[in-house]
Amino acid sequence: MPPRPSPPAQLFPHRLPRPLLLPVTALKHLREQVFLAGDEGWTGEERTDIGGDASVSPTPTYIGCRGWPRHRVRCIAGDADTTDPSSGTSTSLRDWSSPSSENTSDGETEADVETRGLAFFAEMATQAASPSKEGRYSYEEYKETADWLLANTEHRPMVAIVCGSGLGNLADLLKEQVAFKYEDIPNFPKSTVPGHAGRLVFGNLNGKPCVCMQGRFHMYEGYPLWKVTFPIRVFHLIGVQTVIVTNAAGGLNEDYRVGHIMVIKDHINFPGFAGQNPLMGPNEDRFGPRFPPMSDAYDRDLRKLALSASRDLGFAAELHEGVYCGLGGPSFETIAECRFLNRLGADAVGMSTVHEVVVARHCGLRVLGISLITNQAVMDYNSEARANHEEVLKAGRESEKMMEKLLTTLLPRIETNNNVN
């Protein structure tokens, strides 16, 4: 086993108080080049299936794997592993990884590989320098983003609207717009899903100061839930009181048709059953309590308001109140799963919303959830129907006007946090 030189020390100028988690996006540069060391030392095993989170230690010097589950990669402190020659000086990723990485793909030169490798390490070092603890955002980071937004716009939104798949144009309803790309906002994750533009739009909707997330984050994008829900706490810090979460969902209830609207009465947080809750980890008391109740997740007054606004608009026939089931995605459900969820009491199914709602309730925001039924869940083994994202986006566009009317009618009726018309 040839010794591996360490990446250059100057790329890791910061020392961390303790290990932290890195998002898998930090590893994307190395997808084909990462070679992992096992407990026995460097194995030269090539890994292309890296997903989930990686963690970086206080003094990361190389990537290794110590019997972690297949989807995890760990950066180990140089002095934590005897096989690491931590005094090495080479900066070449090829040298640094393993002899079998000599064959670079796609005509990449050694310099290209090295550049990508160094970009990866630089990204790691940047993240290592952040004040985040254990891979979560620190309170200061939420605050930094909130302060940045408040400094860059004079808007002071009372209501935040999260636009679901195919519903991004709802943001166009806002007047006197000030918009920011997610990539320009400190600490904000990036949108990766078609139909989720990745812009935060401030403005007034029918006189009500609002902020719209034109694109949300999902678990299936590889984001940990504390990242998926980052904007919600930022909304809280900039003074938002009410969050309207919209989504595209598959209809499980046999009465639901494409284009129908479901005001969310309650949810089933399926990933939560398996320990995937955005509030896992140390509680930040400045946001909310360790054990927040969820029996009042969807505000009763706001639901009434949405139902009465829909009736006033003549949408009663297309309107339901029901239970949303949030799954991890990205695969759509099997027939057996749809039947199972339906029997469990779910009326619609999607891959979002529940995490945002848990975090919003934790910090005391009031929540209104609105699902647009974009497809009917396949429940029949004789059906030829296949759920797909294009159909979801199309249904969103087709029902855009209806959703716009509903929000335009609804918004002015929401008064303050404790006072609904």
Ligand X SMILES: Nc1nc2[nH]cnc2c(=O)[nH]1
- Contact footprint for ligand R1P (CB under 6 A): 164-165, 193, 216, 218, 247-248, 329, 350-352, 389, 392
Q: 302-331 mask for ligand X (x: CB under 6 A)?
A: -------------------------x-x--
* Residue 110 annotated among the catalytic residues of the structure: no
Instruction: Residue 114: name its binding partner from ligand X, ligand R1P, none (Cβ under 5 to 8 Å by kind).
Output: none
Q: Does 333 bind ligand X (CB under 6 A)?
A: yes
* Residue 221 annotated among the catalytic residues of the structure: yes
Instruction: Residue 320: name its binding partner from ligand R1P, ligand X, none (Cβ under 5 to 8 Å by kind).
Output: none
CA distance 240 to 142: 14
Q: Does 101 bind ligand X (CB under 6 A)?
A: no
CA distance 97 to 188: 31
Radius of gyration of the chain (CA): 24
- Check residue 246 and report its DSSP letter: E
CA distance 245 to 145: 21
Handedness of CA 353, 354, 357, 362 (dihedral sign): negative
In this chain, which stretch among 109-117, 202-210, 370-378, 399-407 interacts with ligand X, using CB under 6 A?
370-378
CB of 218 to ligand X, least distance (A): 10
CB 142 within 8 A of CB 136: no
- For ligand X, the closer of residues 367 and 392 by Cβ is 392
Quote the tokens at residue 319: 């309107």
CB 96 within 8 A of CB 114: no
User: How distant, in Å, are the alpha carbons of 57, 77, 91, 129, 134 from that of 18?
Assistant: 7, 11, 25, 12, 7
- For ligand X, the closer of residues 163 and 249 by Cβ is 249
Question: Kind of pairing, strands 419-420 and 414-416?
Answer: antiparallel
Q: Does 393 bind ligand X (CB under 6 A)?
A: no
Q: Does 41 bind ligand X (CB under 6 A)?
A: no
CB of 256 to ligand X, least distance (A): 11
Of the residues 211, 377, 402, 407, which one makes contact with ligand X according to CB under 6 A: 377
CB 211 within 8 A of CB 126: no
- The closest alpha carbon to 258, from 266, 249, 267, belongs to 249
- Check residue 64 and report its DSSP letter: E
Place of tokens 């969807």: 298
CB of 237 to ligand X, least distance (A): 30
CB of 192 to ligand R1P, least distance (A): 11
In this chain, which stretch among 145-153, 180-188, 247-255, 273-281 interacts with ligand X, using CB under 6 A?
247-255
CB of 354 to ligand X, least distance (A): 12
Provide the 10 A C-beta neighbour count for residue 77.
16
Q: Does 271 bind ligand X (CB under 6 A)?
A: no
* Residue 375 annotated among the catalytic residues of the structure: yes
* Residue 355 annotated among the catalytic residues of the structure: no
* Residue 220 annotated among the catalytic residues of the structure: yes
- The closest alpha carbon to 19, from 72, 70, 67, belongs to 72
Report, as residue numbers or ranges, the catalytic residues.
165, 196, 218, 220-221, 248, 351-352, 375, 389
Catalog residues that contact ligand X under the rule CB under 6 A: 248-250, 327, 329, 332-333, 349-351, 374-375, 377, 387, 392
